Amino acid sequence: MNGWTGKLLRVNLTTRETGVESSEKYFGYVGGKGMATRILYDEVPAGVKPYDPESKVVMAVGPNSGSSAPCSGRTTLCFLSTFTKGNAVVDAHIGGDVATQLKACGYDALIIEGASDVPVYINVKDDKVTVEDAAALWGMTTTETTAALCDKEGTGTTVMSIGKAGENMINLSCVITGVAHCAGGGVGAIFGSKKLKAICLYGKGGTQVADPKRVLALNNYVMSDLMGSNNNHVVPNTPQSFSEYDSPRSRWTGHPGLTWGAAPGGPVDTGESAPGQPTLMGYRCQKAVFDHGMIAEKYTTKMIGCTSCPVRCYGAVSLPQLKKFGRNTTHANTCLGNNPYGGLMKAYTDFEEEGDGKLTASVYSAILADDLGLWDNYGELKATLNYFMDNGYMEKILKPEEYAEIDWSKRESGDITFIADILTRVCDKNHTLSTLAQGAYFVDKQYHDLIGDDYINSAALTLWSTIGAKRHHGNECAAQVGMLTNVVYNRDGMCHTIVNITGSGLPYHLQRNIVEERFGKGCLDMPKNYTPMNEAKARFAKFGVVRQALHDSFTLCNWVWPMTFSPRKERGYKGDLSVESQYFSAITGKETSEEELDFMAERGIQLARAMTVKTYGTRDMRHEHDVIPEYAYSTEPDVPVFTEGTVKMEKEDWQLALSMFYKEFGWDENGAPTRETLEKFDLKDVADDLEASGLL
C-alpha cells in the first residue's frame, strides 16, 4: 500500500494482548490527528476521565510521515486533556524519529488501552510486539530510561518515555523521545496512570510511495525554491549578499562569521546559505544564539532536529559548567524549550562572563525538566509558580514544614539549584507544590478563594481562554486572526500558519499582497495596528487551522509549513500552497486537489468540535469555551483599541469575530456544528449522537 501502511496496532495493557487491524476506514481523515481523533471518538465514551483505565492514547501518523518530505517526522498523539476544563479531547505532537519508526514498524497508528498494575514498556519491533516488565526503569529519568532501553533493545531503538512527572500523574507532564522531543498536553500522566514507562520502536520496513521520482523532485523543489528557515522565515536575520530584505525577528540566523563555536575539532562557520542551495540550508537556523543571545555561540556544538527535517531548529549546546551541578552538560531544544524554567530565578550568578549565568540557568532547567518529563504548557507552569511566589501565596498554600524546607533566598541570590528544589517537588504528588502543575483551570478552581478572578485573567498567565489554555499563538500575531486560531482547540492552539506569515521577515505590503490574493482585502492588518473584524480575516483564520490540522494529520511540521511565502525574488516571494496536495498525490497515487485535501483535514476539526460539545454537555461554546481572559482587553490602557501600538482585543469585536469564524465552519451562533455541517463531512453518526444527547 502506498503512503499508509493500512494497519493499526492495538496494545491492551490490562491483558497485555496485542493485535493488528485495518486502518483503511480512517483514510478519509488523512491520518495523524484526524485518524486518532476519530479512533478516540469511536472507542472512548463521553464521561470517561483521562486517568480511567477506559481512557486511551492513540498515536498516529499519516501517508506523508517518513516519506522523506522535508519536516515529515511528526507524530500526533490524541487523548483526553488532563489539564483543561472538561478534560475534553486534545492532541499533542512529537518529533524525533517516532513517525519514521512507527511507519517502519508497519503501522499508521498505535492504540494504547487498558492499564497495567505494574510498570511496563511496549516493545515494537516490526510485527513482534510485546509488553515487557519495566520495574527496573520506574523512577529513572527519561535520559536514563532511553539509555537503558537502547542498551537492552538495540542502540538505534526509538524510545518514548516518561519521567517522575508522568509516573506521579502530574497533569502537566509529557513524553520525551531522543533529546528533548516532547509530546505534551499531559499525556505523560496518562502513561503514568497506565503504568506505561516507555514505548520502544525499531522497524525494518518503510513508507511505500506511488511515484518516488515525483517525491524526490518535490523535495528538491521545496528545499530549493520554497523553504526558508524555522517558521519558514524567508529572509535572513542580517543583511546578506543574496537578499533584498532582512529581519531581526527572523530565525534564519546563520551568517558569515557566526559559528558552531563548540563543534568538535573547532568552529564551523554557518556562512551564507542562499535560496537554491539545499545542501547548505541546515546552516540557516541558529536557534541557540537566537534564543539565548550571542553568548551561546561559543557553546553551540551544532543544530539538530527531527528525522527528515532540513531546517534543524534544535540548538545543541555544551556547557562544561553544568558538571558541577551533577548533570549532563549538553542539551538541545528550541523556543520555549530552551528556557522553560530559568525565569523562576530573580537573579543569576555569572560563571566566567556576563550573561553566562542566565544561559546556564536556562539550559540547566531544560535538562532537569526533560529528565523529569515535566511539561511547561508553553510557559504556563513557570508563570503560575512565579505568580504564587511573587504574590506571597506560597506561604499560604504550602504546609509550614514544606515552606520551611525550601531555601527561598536562592531565588534572589542566583543559586540555580533553586530550580531543582522547586521542580522536583512539583513532580512529587505528596507535596503541595504539585497542585500548581494541575493546569491553570484547576489551579484557579482549587485556590479561587485565595487568588480570586485575577490569576486566570492575568497578563502574567497569558491564556487564550479561561478553559486553562495558553495563548500560543493569539492576538500578538494578526490580532483577531491569531486569536481565532485557538478556538478549535482544548489546549494552546499551536497554530503556526499565521505567525509564520507575520514573522516571515518580508515587508508588510508584500505579506499583505500575497495573502490578500487568496483571502480577500483586509485579511492582514499592519503589525501592532489592526482594524475591526471582517470576513476576510475569518477566512484567513480558518485556513490557518485547517492547514495546521492537515499538517498534524498528514503529517508535516506546522512550525515550518505551509509554504505561503518563498525566499525567491523571482517568485515575487510567493510560496506554493498546493505542495501538500502534490505530495499526497505523489505518495498515495490518488490525485487529490488542494481543496479536497483541506476538506479531509477539516473533517477532523469538525469531529473534535463536536466531541467538545458532547464532553461539555452544552452547545454554548461561545460562553463556555471561547472565552478570552480580561488581560486581552486591557493591555496598553493608554492606547485606544484599533490604533497604532496595541493588539488588545475589543469585546464586541471579539464576539463578531467568533460569529464570522463560526459561520466559516458551518457552526451556529453558539459555536457548535450543525447537522448539515456534520453530514457534509460524512459525520452523520456524530450528528445522531449529539441529537441523542440533546445537543443538536
Residues numbered 169 to 188 that lie near other proteins (CB under 8 A) are: 178-179
- Which triple of cell numbers denotes residue 64? 506523508
Instruction: CB nearer to other proteins: give 122 or 313.
Output: 313
Pair 32, 554: CB distance under 8 Å:
yes
Q: Which of 117, 118, 279, 652 binds other proteins (CB under 8 A)?
A: 279
DSSP assignment of 492-505:
-----TTHHHHTS-
Instruction: CB nearer to other proteins: give 572 or 645.
Output: 645
Cβ at position 685, least distance to other proteins in Å: 35
Q: Which of 18, 321, 330, 446 binds other proteins (CB under 8 A)?
A: 330
Pair 681, 41: CB distance under 8 Å:
no
Query: What is the rounded CA–CA span in Å between residue 201 and residue 198?
Result: 10
Question: 654: helix, coil or strand?
Answer: helix
- Asked if residue 312 binds other proteins (CB under 8 A), the reply is yes
Q: Which of 114, 278, 468, 493 binds other proteins (CB under 8 A)?
A: 278
H/E segment holding residue 216: helix 212-221
Query: What is the rounded CA–CA span in Å between residue 470 and residue 601?
Result: 23
Question: 469: helix, coil or strand?
Answer: strand
- Asked if residue 282 binds other proteins (CB under 8 A), the reply is yes
Query: What is the rounded CA–CA span in Å between residue 138 and residue 120?
Result: 9
- Asked if residue 46 binds other proteins (CB under 8 A), the reply is no
Cβ at position 409, least distance to other proteins in Å: 25
- Which triple of cell numbers denotes residue 602? 477539516
Residues 628-657: x/- map of binding to other proteins (CB under 8 A)? Answer: --------x--x----xxx-----------
Contact segment (CB under 8 A) with other proteins among 22-30, 423-431, 469-477, 550-558 equals: 469-477
Query: What is the rounded CA–CA span in Å between residue 476 and residue 483?
Result: 8
Question: 443: helix, coil or strand?
Answer: helix
Largest CA distance in the chain: 68
Pick out residues in 486-515 that bind other proteins (CB under 8 A). Answer: 503, 507-508
Q: Which of 20, 46, 147, 627 binds other proteins (CB under 8 A)?
A: 147
Report how many residues bind other proteins under the rule CB under 8 A: 99
Contact segment (CB under 8 A) with other proteins among 38-46, 332-340, 392-400, 426-434 equals: 332-340
Q: Which of 164, 195, 233, 302 binds other proteins (CB under 8 A)?
A: 302
Q: Which residues pair with 159 in a beta bridge?
A: 200
Cβ at position 405, least distance to other proteins in Å: 30
Contact segment (CB under 8 A) with other proteins among 46-54, 279-287, 440-448, 602-610 equals: 279-287
Pick out residues in 189-228 that bind other proteins (CB under 8 A). Answer: 203-209, 212, 215-216, 219, 223
Put residue 30 in one of left, alpha, beta given phi > 0 → left and psi -120 to 50 → alpha. Answer: left
Q: Which of 74, 411, 471, 614 binds other proteins (CB under 8 A)?
A: 471
Q: What is residue 123's DSSP assignment? A: E
Residue with cell 537554491: 276
Instruction: CB nearer to other proteins: give 272 or 596.
Output: 272
Cβ at position 450, least distance to other proteins in Å: 27
- Asked if residue 242 binds other proteins (CB under 8 A), the reply is yes
Cβ at position 165, least distance to other proteins in Å: 20
Q: Which residues pair with 374 in a beta bridge?
A: 173
Query: What is the rounded CA–CA span in Å between residue 483 and residue 185?
Result: 20
Cβ at position 565, least distance to other proteins in Å: 14
Q: Note if the bond before 93 is cis, omega within 30 degrees.
A: no
Report CA-CA distances (Å) from 495 to 243, 443, 455, 533, 546. 28, 25, 25, 19, 10
Cβ at position 470, least distance to other proteins in Å: 9
Q: Which of 39, 112, 115, 316 binds other proteins (CB under 8 A)?
A: 316
Instruction: CB nearer to other proteins: give 95 or 671.
Output: 95
Instruction: CB nearer to other proteins: give 156 or 572.
Output: 156
- Asked if residue 245 binds other proteins (CB under 8 A), the reply is yes
Contact segment (CB under 8 A) with other proteins among 164-172, 398-406, 410-418, 465-473 equals: 465-473
- Asked if residue 45 binds other proteins (CB under 8 A), the reply is no
Question: 32: helix, coil or strand?
Answer: helix
Q: Which residues pair with 673 in a beta bridge?
A: 667
- Which triple of cell numbers denotes residue 41? 471518538
Contact segment (CB under 8 A) with other proteins among 35-43, 114-122, 128-136, 142-150 equals: 142-150
Cβ at position 103, least distance to other proteins in Å: 8
Instruction: CB nearer to other proteins: give 279 or 409.
Output: 279
Q: Which residues pair with 176 in a beta bridge?
A: 161, 182
Long-range contact pairs involving 399-403 (C-beta distance under 8 Å, separation at least 24): 399/432, 402/431, 402/432, 402/433
Pick out residues in 66-125 that bind other proteins (CB under 8 A). Answer: 66-68, 97, 100, 104
Cβ at position 474, least distance to other proteins in Å: 8
Q: Which of 91, 225, 291, 598 binds other proteins (CB under 8 A)?
A: 291
Instruction: CB nearer to other proteins: give 37 or 502.
Output: 502
- Asked if residue 615 binds other proteins (CB under 8 A), the reply is no
Q: Which of 21, 24, 133, 151 binds other proteins (CB under 8 A)?
A: 151
Cβ at position 584, least distance to other proteins in Å: 15
Could you give the angle at which helices 594-616 and 535-554 cross, rounded to 10 degrees? 90
Instruction: CB nearer to other proteins: give 435 or 497.
Output: 497
- Asked if residue 304 binds other proteins (CB under 8 A), the reply is yes
- Which triple of cell numbers denotes residue 202? 525499531
Cβ at position 544, least distance to other proteins in Å: 16
Q: What is residue 222's DSSP assignment? A: I
- Which triple of cell numbers denotes residue 622? 461561545
Residue with cell 463531512: 681
- Of 334, 329, 312, 333, which is closest to residue 364 (Cα–Cα)? 329
- Of 312, 320, 313, 211, which is closest to residue 262 (Cα–Cα)? 320
Pick out residues in 248-277 that bind other proteins (CB under 8 A). Answer: 248-249, 255-258, 260, 263-269, 272
Query: What is the rounded CA–CA span in Å between residue 104 and residue 657?
Result: 44
The amino acid present at 312, given as its one-letter code, is: R
Pick out residues in 677-696 that bind other proteins (CB under 8 A). Answer: none
H/E segment holding residue 413: helix 409-413
- Asked if residue 283 binds other proteins (CB under 8 A), the reply is yes
Cβ at position 303, least distance to other proteins in Å: 6
Which string of b and e fits 220-229 if b means at least 16 CB within 10 Å?
Answer: ebbbbbbbbb
Pick out residues in 355-384 that bind other proteins (CB under 8 A). Answer: 379
Cβ at position 446, least distance to other proteins in Å: 27
Instruction: CB nearer to other proteins: give 135 or 526.
Output: 526
Contact segment (CB under 8 A) with other proteins among 44-52, 312-320, 411-419, 573-581 equals: 312-320
Per-residue 3-state assignment (H helix, E strand, C coil) for 260-314: ECCCCCCCEECCCCCCCCCCCHHHCECHHHHHHCHHHHHHEEEEECCCCCCCCCE
